[in-house]
Structure 1
Amino acid sequence: MERTMLSRTAQRTIPRCSRAASSRADFLARQSAPARIAAASHQDKAYRKQQQLLRSILAIAIAGGVATLTQHYLNDGMLRVAHAEAPPKDEENALVFEASRKKAGLSKEENRDLISSQHHQVKRSWENPGVYAWGSNSGRVAAPDSTENVIKTPRRINFFDGMLLRDIKLDRNAGAAIDEKGNLLQWGTAYAPDTKSPATTLQGKDLVALSMSRDRVLALSRSGKVYSLPMSAEDQAAGIKPSESTWLPFWTTPSPVSYRLIAPKDLKSPEKVTSIDGGLEHALLLTSQGRVFSTASSSDSFPTRGQLGIPGLTFLTRPEGPYDQPHEITTLRGFSIAKIACGDYHSLALDRDGRVFSWGDNSSGQLGFDFNAESSIVDAPSLIPTQKLYSGTSQVPSITSIAAGGSNSYITVDATKVAAQTGRLLTEDEAKANRGLGRVTADTFAFGAGIYGGLGNSRWTHVQPSPIKIPSLSGLFEYDERTNTTVPIRLAHLSVGATHAAAVMRNITHTSASTDLTSSDDSTNWGADIVFWGGNEHYQLGTGRRNNMSSPTYLQPLDMEAEIKRAKRSTGGKEEHRFHITPRATAVLGDGRRVSVEQRVECGRGVTAVYSGT
């Protein structure tokens, strides 16, 4: 067809060119000599161009004809009819669809395990609760029954198999935990040089939370009492043991271990201590009325870097009484404090209106203020100027949580989009900027030391005095199928050690697939994302490598041996999946108990643990 059309075009063009040549001769005959010469020259050029065009068209027509004839003979002289054909097979690049992992003869739950690694992880966290630890083991903390100096990847501590814990705190040489009954467990060489498993120390106090200083353990009871006891088993046995009441009326007996009560004065009934946190030498106590008290928490060193929040308070100027008596931080009166956090030598407090106060050591900028070489100590709570973080963005920030550890501080922010206030008609760009009013963006900021990667912003900064955003933990959204809306992804929890940190995301989770009788065979459970970053000298990040990480990173599943077995059953080979932490849910444990349980992470000083919490 193409060849025929080109030939006809050529045929129509030839007569037109002949007629043009005849007209040219008549025209030249009527002109004067100079005009005829000029006209002839002009017409010759035009004529040559027409001839060149003619030759080009003829060449194209001939080439098209040859191509058509060649294609005709290559296809056995038969004309092709246009129709839909299957694409040619490319064995190398062909798409291969994964075969179903379901296997005949298995139950719905067994097939769910094969389908999803996350479902498998959630299920195992319920069937086999316990503690996984990794990092430094020089003090027999990460693996009490091992002589290895480091534990490179998560490993179960056999002693805690099947146990639920209320809290856990870890140091390189000491570990402490509260069991399901509220009793204190301790281990590590700082507790006893020959320790090989945790031992129960303080019993019958219904403990709920812990804090560890350089050489003491502080424990908060459900009733609001704060107990301070030596870290060492030897000191617990040799120290003064308070008398305790017994089940017999008017009968007391000495406590099995030595401890001190840290009791704030002038608590108003029914005010009590509801939260504790501490550093290497100090601790903060938060009451149910939003008041904050500070206390010395170490036996061998009194706080000297302003971390108590009491201007002028030193060991020599302290009031009469015990060196570790609590002091109310009076400059915070009038602010209803909701949360407290402590680094090694600094403190943070967040009030219910979203304002953050900091005090103590600022040598790395961990207070959120510019570093002052003449004095790196701020001995009274000072307001961090967080409003300037969103200046010029049409967003209003509200601090939602705080965290601290070592020489680092962290804050999480809900930033709400508001209308730009200009006092005039908005330009087109300003009108576009006003779209999405009321939209909340969740961001995370870090400040302090970044030389080990603790800022989480992919940079290695010695001193960071102003809060800087962690990109991979900020501005995240996901689609909620239940509400058909896009929602921000916030942080559920931040745990900060001496040089490293972990963040648990509050992403949408699902834990009812196994109990929902209406769920499909393909419905599976999944947990919350968790990431780690910072110092890794002792393998405390759990990556199996020793390099520090300046940006949040995922880990492989905790129980890799079980994960590999699952993968071999489903695909015949090893799969790469990341660790998801199981959120709180009511589940049936391996021993048949039905309880409310969740997995939690705890970053200590060179050690990390994930445990089953009640």
Structure 2
Amino acid sequence: MLPKTGVPKLARAASTRASTRASMQSGSQARVLAAPAYAARRQQHFLRSLAVITAAAGIATVSQYYLHDGRLLNSALAEAPPADQPDIQFEKRRKRGANKEEDRDLASSQHLQVKKSWENPGVYACGSNAGKVVAPDSDASFIKTPRRISFFDGKLLRDIKLDTKFGAAIDEQGNLLQWGVDYSTDTTQPTVTLKGKDLVSLAISKDRILGLSSSGKVYSLPVSAADQASGTKPSESSWIPFWSSSSPISYRTITPSDMSYSEKVSSIDSGLEHALLLTSKGRLFSMAAATDAFPTRGQLGVPGLSWDNKPSGPYYQPHELTTLRGFNISKIACGDFHSIVADSDGRVFAFGNNTSGQLGFDYNTESAVVDTPALLPLQKLYAGSSQVPVVTSVAAGGANSFLTVDATKVASRNSDGRGVGRVSADTFACGAGIYGTLGNNRWTHVQGTPTKIPSLSSLFEYDETNNTVIPIRLASISVGNKHVAAVMSNVAHTGALNTDGETWWGRDIVFWGGNENYQLGTGKRNNVNTPTYIQPLDQVAERKVRGKEEHRFQITPRSTVRLADGRKVSMEQRVECGRDCTAIYSGV
């Protein structure tokens, strides 16, 4: 900083020189000689400004020092961060477990879910509890997220089916269990009803249960415990030779006619009033499945068949679909009032009610009912794509139908030959979409032409075991009256017998459709029109280990594991969509 006397000395010197020159010149010259004085004043102004700036810089430096707790900024030109900007949060270092297994639990939610499914087999359910089905011991009207049914803790099941007012399941020994208010208002827990039949699968109508045994026998019994007690009880043989007794409950045995010696029923499914029976020879039979109604919407697939002209004999007798002779039927599915089947060559036939387009044909007011199996023109879905479609599975429920298709790229006149032989796995839906059941991100009342579900179609992944890219298909699909769940067949790893250092992971599972009764398990009540994930089933166990991190539910594929009782079993988790409710169970 300049000394205080500097500026006056410069001013006096300039004034002396100006006076000397002024005395030697006349009038106009004096005005010219005034310029040095002006320059002196400019220099004086500059020096004062420099002093002010220097002082201000010093004050700013001191201020910044105190404002930042004694820490100087790296640069005088650096800007201070905005006052509302949050501090940077660094992820806390995850604590290590006591052993490698705990470390794997901490590192992978998928690993933890797979392990819990093996350690704690059972049944999770959500949705409407109006009939005390998803929570028999609760008075709650709804169960918003999957909750365990305590009765099934530690138990493995062969099958389970849920209606709003009743539930049915087959235990590991092949016995039938029933519960819900339509079974009995006095019973609050599942009860064994039909014993010793070695049942393997179930189908339910609006008031009856069909059970298929391992030997191919089909049993039909009423849902109500009162009807089981009051109805006709058939005679059953005993382990004692030449000794028989009456069954403790009423039921029927269903046997299709003209069965060959080695032929037996291999698969069953049911709508509200009808059922389909598929034999090991690829023959298809249909029958009335309700107690008080005969199918009138073409869902039996027999042209012109009605109560008035039915053949002599019981009204529930099976009828062969002779129009399908010559086609080796391999897959069957029933909606409420329609049927859809596929043969071993990948062709699809549909029949029954079509008011929502659920048969895959455009709705026609003059032909809302199709009582003869009709072939779906699948090639139209791939017109101009040089792909040949083959149906790999069918599913149905309510007023909807679903198809999974393998479409293979073939050489064509307009193609360049690239990608020939490549398979694309696609999923199609048709029928009612007002609840989002079509899964195509639209709300459509009627969808006659099958529409592709984008998020479940044309997906691929890299298979590290085989070093190749493979299509992601659906492992299974379950359809309720308004909602759907699909398990994706993505590459999984559940090395149950080799646990050294390996991390297990399962398969993706998605849900969509109607959700007014919380049947999707999202915890919310809004309908969903595109496949979506839900949270892990056992959120309490998840949070105890991993905190509040958000993860998606992964379902465990079939694996051979050792249970707590020491038994080694082959088991998997399965999903079953019912009427306004959903179950996820440990199946054998």
Which residue does 2:520 correspond to in 1? Answer: 541
| Residue 500 of structure 1, aligned match among 472, 483, 486 | 483
What whole-Å deviation, never above 9, does each CA across 1:471-513 have from its counterpart, x for those lacking one? 000011111111111111000000000000000000000001x
Which residue does 1:24 correspond to in 2? Answer: none
Is 1:109 the counterpart of 2:88? The answer is no
Is there any run of 5+ residues in structure 2 with no aligned partner, and where?
Answer: 1-80
| Residue 594 of structure 1, aligned match among 558, 561, 568 | 568
Q: Cα RMSD between the aligned structures?
A: 1.7
Which residue does 1:273 correspond to in 2? Answer: 265
Equivalents in 1 of 2:86, 2:221: separation in Å? 68
* Offset, 1:193: 1.4
Equivalents in 1 of 2:297, 2:472: separation in Å? 36
* Offset, 1:592: 2.5
Is the Cα contact below 8 Å between 2:497 and 2:560 reproduced in 1? no
Is the Cα contact below 8 Å between 2:497 and 2:561 reproduced in 1? no
Is 1:219 the counterpart of 2:211? The answer is yes
* Partner SS, residue 563 of structure 1: helix
Equivalents in 2 of 1:610, 1:212: separation in Å? 18
* Partner SS, residue 374 of structure 1: helix
Which residue does 1:309 correspond to in 2? Answer: 301
Is 1:465 the counterpart of 2:448? The answer is yes
| Residue 198 of structure 2, aligned match among 188, 202, 206 | 206
Which residue does 1:381 correspond to in 2? Answer: 373
Is 1:561 the counterpart of 2:543? The answer is no
Report matched runs for 1:351-500 at 5 Å. Answer: 351-422=343-414, 430-431=415-416, 434-500=417-483
Report matched runs for 1:233-272 at 5 Å. Answer: 233-272=225-264
What whole-Å deviation, never above 9, does each CA across 1:530-581 have from its counterpart, x for those lacking one? 000000111100001110000000010001111111113xxxxx11000000
Which residue does 1:78 correspond to in 2? Answer: none
| Residue 529 of structure 1, aligned match among 501, 508, 512 | 508
Is the Cα contact below 8 Å between 2:177 and 2:194 reproduced in 1? yes
Structure 1: which amino acid aligns with 2:427?
T
* Offset, 1:365: 0.2
Is 1:183 the counterpart of 2:157? The answer is no
Structure 2: which amino acid aligns with 1:495?
S
TM-score, structure 1 normalization: 0.81
Is the Cα contact below 8 Å between 1:102 and 1:115 reproduced in 2? no
Is the Cα contact below 8 Å between 2:125 and 2:134 reproduced in 1? yes
Is 1:298 the counterpart of 2:290? The answer is yes
Equivalents in 1 of 2:231, 2:94: separation in Å? 65
Is the Cα contact below 8 Å between 1:489 and 1:507 reproduced in 2? yes
* Offset, 1:396: 1.1
Equivalents in 2 of 1:116, 1:346: separation in Å? 43
Equivalents in 2 of 1:218, 1:503: separation in Å? 24
| Residue 516 of structure 1, aligned match among 475, 495, 498 | 498
Which residue does 1:584 correspond to in 2? Answer: 558
Structure 2: which amino acid aligns with 1:533?
W
| Paired-residue identity, % | 66
Which residue does 1:132 correspond to in 2? Answer: 124
What whole-Å deviation, never above 9, does each CA across 1:205-249 have from its counterpart, x for those lacking one? 000010110110000000000000000000000000000000111
* Partner SS, residue 510 of structure 1: coil
Equivalents in 2 of 1:135, 1:301: separation in Å? 28
* Offset, 1:410: 0.2
* Offset, 1:111: 1.6
What whole-Å deviation, never above 9, does each CA across 1:145-189 have from its counterpart, x for those lacking one? 111111111000000000000000000000000000000000000
What whole-Å deviation, never above 9, does each CA across 1:42-73 have from its counterpart, x for those lacking one? xxxxxxxxxxxxxxxxxxxxxxxxxxxxxxxx
* Offset, 1:380: 0.5
Equivalents in 2 of 1:350, 1:447: separation in Å? 16
Structure 2: which amino acid aligns with 1:400?
T
Equivalents in 1 of 2:460, 2:94: separation in Å? 30
* Partner SS, residue 462 of structure 1: strand
What is the number of residues matched between the two proteins?
507
Equivalents in 1 of 2:152, 2:141: separation in Å? 21
Equivalents in 1 of 2:450, 2:186: separation in Å? 44
Structure 2: which amino acid aligns with 1:199?
T
* Partner SS, residue 529 of structure 2: strand
Which residue does 1:99 correspond to in 2? Answer: 93
Equivalents in 2 of 1:138, 1:444: separation in Å? 33
